[in-house]
Amino acid sequence: MRSTEDALFDDLHPTQASTWEEGRPDLDLATKASIAATVLGVLVVALCLIRPSFASVLGAPGLAGVALLLIGGTIGWNRGVYVPSGAGIRNDGVFFGASYRPSPATLALTLPFCGLYTVLWWSNYGTGMVFLGIPTAAAGLWAYGHAQTVRYAGSVALLLLAAWMWFGDYTPSSLDSVNPLKGGIALVDPLAMALRGSSADKWFFYTVAYTTGVSLMAVRMAFRYRHNRYHLARTASVVFWQASFGFVVPMLLSKMGQKEHYFSYFWPLKPEYLLPFNVVDNYWDGGTVARAMFLWGVMMSLVGVPVLTYLYGKRWYCSWVCGCGALAETVGDPWRQLSDKSERAWRVERWSIHGVLALIVGITVFLWTNEALGRPWMDHGRASGLFWDWYGFFIVAGFAGIVGTGFYPVLGSRIWCRFGCPQAAVLGILQRFFSRFRITTNGGQCISCGNCSTYCEMGIDVRAYAQRGDNIVRASCVGCGVCAAVCPRGVLKLENGAMGDRFEGADDPLGEMLRSLGIRPRTGDPGDR
Amino acid sequence: MHVVILGNGIAGITAARTLRKRDASVRITVVSGESDHHFSRPALMYVYMGHMRYRDTVPYEPGFWTKNRIELVRGWVVRIHADAHELEMDGGGRLAYDRLLIATGSVPNRFGWPGQDLDRVHGMYSVQDLLALERATPGIRTGVVVGGGLIGIELAEMLHSRGRHAILLVREDSYWRNVLPREESDMVNRAIRAHGIELRLSTELASIEDDGRGGAGAVQTATGDRIEAQFVGLTAGVRPNTTVVEASGIDIARGVRVDEQLRTSAPDVWAAGDCAHVHPSVGEPFLEQVWYTCRAQGEVAAENLLGGSRAYSRGIWFNSAKFLDIEYQVYGEIPNRPASGVKHLYWEHADGDKALRICTRDGRFIGLQTMGMRYRHRVCEAWIRDGISVDDAIAKLHLADFDPELYRRHAPAIRAGLKEVSA
């Protein structure tokens, strides 16, 4: 609902955007050259995707060249943008830029992400991805009030598809059988040979692209938050975990003839690490090392997660270790302010994220019951097939991939983490009721300005708590620390302390849970959410 | 009972919330001519700088008001008919009340400068001021901001963020010197200049020149300098907004005159926030025009509207601000000039952008002020209330540190480096 003032400011937005644009400082030559280098690097990759034969010509030296262009370009670009203005919070013009509201420019960014995830799962689900996945996402967004966005997305997608078929080596009839990432895969092939001793495939290409995206955008974070050691440390941490246990370590394991295992993911984010069709056939019967991998996962799910979350809150995982978190905190950071802060969104969130958790818990219990009874209902092949066809298609490919990442520029950077991730749901329940973590509000210093809520990627209305002097104890908080950083009055601080003083409901966790679910009524305090 | 609250700023809205919290049946109406909904006034600057949209400065969703049965009326009140218990609205309508709270806030000071009513000469207080600034922005190359206080530096930062040349005129010989001691004031002077904002100290505005079309074209300073400017910001403080009250026969001093229970001279009428001039039974009358005191007064007024008799007392002073990139917090007493019996201990980081000042009287800790560091409100307040010794406070300084995790801890360096200074 727009107020009179909202309408007046909305009308002024074009003036705001143009005056801001015209008032920006000029970039020096080195910065312009760096931008050109970055764009050139991206163009080479795009060219490889369109003409796979070009990638084969480039070979290893070409790949190294692309890497140098991207790394050097990104460093120079961010240096040129952030160093001259000095260290500090730099959110000037965030809401004036063209990419911060649904527009053709936003969608030029959205579609490559959606397209990548569609293409990645293409061979698994074929045209189903197009005829089921994308309309599902579109319908969801439409219902959510982004009809305009969907219309734009649709038309740009059609144009891109036409261009791709025109310029590429493909025809519509071969859509199901070709691999549209052929050129990208050929580009990273030399790296695959060196790391794991076998040719690249689409998942290798995806992991390289993912890790590159995280690392390059971490450079942006490093310049942007160079005055803030918390942000520097957590950014370095996600890059480390993504590059090592999310990429290099699994590849080396594979080279050594072991399973390509990802030690930084556990059930239920990676459900297959605890589902019998995979555990029994591939891990338990796969030798000592594979068995140790499985036990590591079980240990983390049952002991590691609760203990670390008790000590530090869910942030130890979500904004320090997790790969999805790594992408959100680096590549997704420019869109964090787009998350929906309304109470309605919070209601949707609670049903949605706990729904996915209930689903995966149900599947797990069902499959292990089936296993214990000697598989009376389905064998491993059928269980695996059904699981990947349904959970894999709708939740992993559709929710976490297409919507979760593809819609960063529409719904903010933590869509999957907030509305879908079952691991986040588990961590959140632990954080809410059994953790030392809280965001402390500094006495009466809050001026209700709203910077904290605006820049919360999880859509938490931080201000609602801070302006009452209450600490913030919320299941969804991933502890990124940006609310505390952008606060102009030094009001917020992420802390781990005694359970008793975290918030007023700490001594009545069950009552608090019932109230937060709407089962037991709130007290009627007009500050209550 | 029907309580009408005149003004939807922090004092008025805190009063409305407190009323509903204490009493489920009282009818509450909030009248505002400025905006449909309560918004955070200090956040307006972030709308101009593009950190937030206007809607993001609004702390409560529209449903909040219906859920808590707080009626919102949009419109200006022109007169209070205290005897009839009625408000006369612009346009002729009447609104009856049983009890009334005046929370009309303040207006920017204008000291009768020639040209102060030209186009593109504005304060930076209301939504209307911000809208006017937005509309003027395409034509601004240089903006002159008059006033070396909190709003002045914010307005200069705003203009600077949109690539406009900003010139800050400060009457004193250093920024906000009527509040800040010398060293902190110097630190802000340096920060202003380092950001590329032009700072002219010991400079007073004499007049504003017409550009020939009824708008600001240049300013003349008291020393005879002429500065071309397409926008002039008047930020030399604020005064209570008493326009409505003046026409209504309710006593006015520097603001709406109230006793310590925030009662005005008229029956069933209270006043709170920026507009209230408090005359306590003991001690000097005072105006308190910061966010926190308005919030506290709104709470006291609400309780007294419901029949209470609570006296307003602001408690131990605290405040905070952000000067460009330097955060500032103050707890307790920090006199800006030498004061009898008060000793100042000061530490400044080698970077020149972090500082801590402790004030003591008779060896007791009476106040703490930080630049570029965050300290804990509750801890500092308790130390002052308990009157702990300064040595004790310095020994326990790390307990008050509120900087983010992983930040370098300065307490040891502060303990080693605190030096006595004048002020």
Residues 220-279 of B with CB under 8 A from A: none
Q: Which residues of B touch A25 (CB under 8 A)?
A: 163
Q: What is the largest CA-CA distance in chain A?
A: 71
The closest of A35, A157, A173, A171 to A108, measured between CA atoms, is: A157
- Average pLDDT for residues B187-210, to the nearest whole number? 97
* Residue A315 predicted with pLDDT over 80: yes
CB contact (8 A) between residue B404 and residue A494: yes
Same-domain check for residues B228 and B244? no
Chain B nearest C-alpha distance from A477 (Å): 16
Please report the pLDDT score of residue A508 as a whole number.
61
Mean pLDDT over each residue of chain A, to the nearest integer: 87
For B146-189, the pLDDT digits (tens) are 999 999 999 999 999 999 999 999 999 999 999 999 999 999 99
Q: Which residue has the higher pLDDT, A495 or A515?
A: A495
Which pLDDT band holds residue A327 (cuts at 50, 70, 90)?
very high
Same-domain check for residues B155 and B54? no
Q: Using an 8 Å Cβ cutoff, are A260 and A318 in contact? A: no
Which of B305, B336, B355 corresponds to the end of one domain? B305
B310 in a structural domain = no
- Search chain B and give the residue with CA nearest A466: B59
Q: Using an 8 Å Cβ cutoff, are A66 and A45 in contact? A: yes
Give the lowest-confidence range in A127-131, B5-9, B133-137, B301-305: A127-131
Q: Using an 8 Å Cβ cutoff, are B44 and B130 in contact? A: yes
What percent of chain A stands above pLDDT 90? 67
Please report the pLDDT score of residue A370 as a whole number.
97
The closest of A140, A109, A145, A122 to A413, measured between CA atoms, is: A109
B24 in a structural domain = yes
Same-domain check for residues B230 and B128? yes
Helix (H) or strand (E) holding A68: helix A52-82
Q: Using an 8 Å Cβ cutoff, are B192 and B324 in contact? A: yes
Q: Using an 8 Å Cβ cutoff, are B156 and B247 in contact? A: no
Same-domain check for residues B168 and B232? yes
Q: Which residue has the higher pLDDT, A100 or B347?
A: B347
Could you tell me if A485 lies within 8 Å of chain B, comparing CB atoms?
A: yes
Q: Using an 8 Å Cβ cutoff, are A125 and A388 in contact? A: no
Q: Using an 8 Å Cβ cutoff, are A422 and A356 in contact? A: yes
Which pLDDT band holds residue A410 (cuts at 50, 70, 90)?
confident
Location of structure tokens 């040719």: A199
Chain A nearest C-alpha distance from B84 (Å): 31
Pairing between β-strand B364-371 and β-strand B355-361 as defined by DSSP bridges? antiparallel
Question: DSSP assignment, residue A57?
Answer: H
Q: Using an 8 Å Cβ cutoff, are A263 and A245 in contact? A: yes
Alpha-carbon gap, residue B316 to B313, rounded angstroms: 9
The closest of A129, A255, A110, A144 to A192, measured between CA atoms, is: A255
Please report the pLDDT score of residue A526 as a whole number.
44
For A428-463, the pLDDT digits (tens) are 999 998 899 999 999 999 999 999 999 999 999 999
CB contact (8 A) between residue A451 and residue B407: no
* Residue B409 predicted with pLDDT over 90: yes
Same-domain check for residues B47 and B153? no
A36 three-class SS:
helix
Residue B107 φ then ψ, to 5°: -130, 150
B257 in a structural domain = yes
Same-domain check for residues B17 and B72? yes
Alpha-carbon gap, residue A369 to A362, rounded angstroms: 11
* Residue A127 predicted with pLDDT over 80: no
The angle at the Cα of A334, spanning A333 to A338, to the nearest 5 degrees, equals: 95
The closest of A80, A92, A87, A91 to A35, measured between CA atoms, is: A80
Same-domain check for residues B416 and B342? yes
- Search chain B and give the residue with CA nearest A496: B405
B313 in a structural domain = no
Q: Which residues of B touch A91 (CB under 8 A)?
A: 46, 49-51
- Search chain A and give the residue with CA nearest B128: A5
Q: Which residue has the higher pLDDT, B32 or A176?
A: B32
B262 three-class SS:
coil
- Residue A427 carries which side chain, given as an amino acid letter? L
Count other Cβ atoms within 10 Å, centred on residue A145: 9
Alpha-carbon gap, residue A344 to B408, rounded angstroms: 40
Please report the pLDDT score of residue A524 as a whole number.
44
Nearest to B40 among A95, A228, A448 (CB): A448
Q: Which residue has the higher pLDDT, B190 or A395?
A: B190
Nearest to A9 among B46, B54, B407 (CB): B54
Which of B206, B236, B266 corresponds to the end of one domain? B236
Give the lowest-confidence range in A45-49, A124-128, B78-82, B265-269: A124-128
Which pLDDT band holds residue A509 (cuts at 50, 70, 90)?
low
* Residue A148 predicted with pLDDT over 90: no
Q: Is B411 exposed, middle or buried (0-12, 13-18, 19+ CB in 10 A)?
A: middle
Which pLDDT band holds residue A110 (cuts at 50, 70, 90)?
confident
Q: Could you give the angle at which helices B150-161 and B182-194 cross, rounded to 10 degrees?
A: 10
Q: Cα-Cα-Cα-Cα dihedral of A26, A29, A31, A34, to 10°?
A: 140
CATH code for the domain in which residue B219 is found:
3.50.50.60
Alpha-carbon gap, residue A22 to B162, rounded angstroms: 8
For A183-225, the pLDDT digits (tens) are 889 999 999 999 999 999 888 999 999 999 999 999 999 999 9
- Residue A413 carries which side chain, given as an amino acid letter? S
Q: Using an 8 Å Cβ cutoff, are A165 and A171 in contact? A: yes
* Residue A515 predicted with pLDDT over 70: no
- Residue A458 carries which side chain, given as an amino acid letter? M
Q: Please give the order of strands across the beta sheet that includes B276-278.
A: B256-258, B276-278, B286-287
Q: Which residue has the higher pLDDT, A312 or A98?
A: A312
- Average pLDDT for residues A283-294, to the nearest whole number? 93
Same-domain check for residues B227 and B278? no
β-partners of residue A491 are: none
Could you tell me if B407 lies within 8 Å of chain A, comparing CB atoms?
A: yes
Q: What is the pTM of this model?
A: 0.93
Which of B213, B236, B259 corresponds to the end of one domain? B236
State both tokens at A267.
């059930």
Q: Which range marks the domain in which residue B343 is found?
A: 318-421
Could you tell me if B36 lies within 8 Å of chain A, comparing CB atoms?
A: yes
B36 in a structural domain = yes
Q: Work out how many domains chain B is built from and give that number.
A: 3
Q: Cα-Cα-Cα-Cα dihedral of A238, A242, A244, A248, to 10°?
A: -160
Same-domain check for residues B125 and B232? yes
Same-domain check for residues B143 and B183? yes
Could you tell me if B291 lies within 8 Å of chain A, comparing CB atoms?
A: yes
Mean pLDDT over each residue of chain B, to the nearest integer: 97
Location of structure tokens 């203005």: A85
Alpha-carbon gap, residue A341 to A348, rounded angstroms: 12
Using alpha carbons, list the distances in angstroms from residue A188 to A115, A406, B24, B119. 19, 23, 67, 62
* Residue A416 predicted with pLDDT over 90: yes
- Average pLDDT for residues B207-225, to the nearest whole number? 96
Nearest to B37 among A3, A484, A490 (CB): A3
B389 in a structural domain = yes
- Average pLDDT for residues B376-388, to the nearest whole number? 96
CATH code for the domain in which residue B393 is found:
3.30.390.30
Count other Cβ atoms within 10 Å, centred on residue A458: 27
Please report the pLDDT score of residue A518 as a whole number.
64
Q: Which residue has the higher pLDDT, A264 or A119?
A: A264
B112 in a structural domain = no
* Helices assigned H by DSSP within B137-196: 150-161, 182-194
Give the lowest-confidence range in A41-55, A261-275, A401-415, A505-519: A505-519
* Residue A173 predicted with pLDDT over 60: no
Chains A and B form CB pairs within 8 A to the count of: 182
B115 in a structural domain = no
- Tell me the three-class secondary structure of A222-291, residue by residue: HHHCCCCHHHHHHHHHHHHHHHHHHHHHHHHHHHCCCCCCCCCCCCCCCHHHHCHHHHHHHHHCCCHHHH
- Average pLDDT for residues B311-334, to the nearest whole number? 96
Same-domain check for residues B266 and B361? no
Which pLDDT band holds residue A527 (cuts at 50, 70, 90)?
very low
Question: DSSP assignment, residue B375?
Answer: B
Location of structure tokens 């206007």: B54
User: What does the DSSP assignment read for A493-518?
Assistant: EEEE--GGGS-TTTT-HHHHHHHHTT
Nearest to B17 among A86, A440, A526 (CB): A526
The closest of A422, A363, A414, A362 to A396, measured between CA atoms, is: A422
CB contact (8 A) between residue A447 and residue B291: yes
CB contact (8 A) between residue B54 and residue A442: no
Same-domain check for residues B262 and B228? no
